[in-house]
Amino acid sequence: SQQGEEDPQALSIQEGENATMNCSYKTSINNLQWYRQNSGRGLVHLILIRSNEREKHSGRLRVTLDTSKKSSSLLITASRAADTASYFCATDSNDYKLSFGAGTTVTVRA
């Protein structure tokens, strides 16, 4: 069953602006991952944050995790047209299985 829920469902920003999307989940997790999916393609792993971590950076990506609120955020700084994609959070609970949210569709306008 779907564990994560992303918010907003869709986001449109100007190139150079920052994009922030949120993920909420229901049960306790070992870690939370973010994936990107370009239109009509497979998913690409972006970043993994463990349950004992609060913040993680990778290039222009910043991920936060608040286990008390069961939520995570993904920030993309200085967005580019190539960042146009859908972004999914994925959580694992008590086993290997990843449970994906429905995603946030980000459109970066040139």
Partner 1 sequence: DAMVIQNPRYQVTQFGKPVTLSCSQTLNHNVMYWYQQKSSQAPKLLFHYYDKDFNNEADTPDNFQSRRPNTSFCFLDIRSPGLGDAAMYLCATSRGSGATDTQYFGPGTRLTVL
- Measured from the CB atom, the residue of 15 and 56 that comes closer to partner 1 is 56
For partner 1, the closer CB: 11 or 101: 101
Q: Give me the least distance between CB of 63 and partner 1, in Å please.
A: 14
- Provide the 10 A C-beta neighbour count for residue 81: 10
CB of 16 to partner 1, least distance (A): 27
Map tokens 């299985």 to a residue.
Answer: 97
* Helix or strand run (H / E) with residue 35: strand 31-37
Given the complex with partner 1, which of 96 and 110 has the nearer CB atom?
96
Report helix, strand or coil for 106.
Answer: strand
Q: List residues binding partner 1 (CB under 8 A).
A: 2, 4, 30-31, 33, 35, 40-45, 48, 50, 88, 92, 95-103, 105
Q: Measure the CA angle with vertex 63, ends 60 and 65; round to 5°.
A: 170
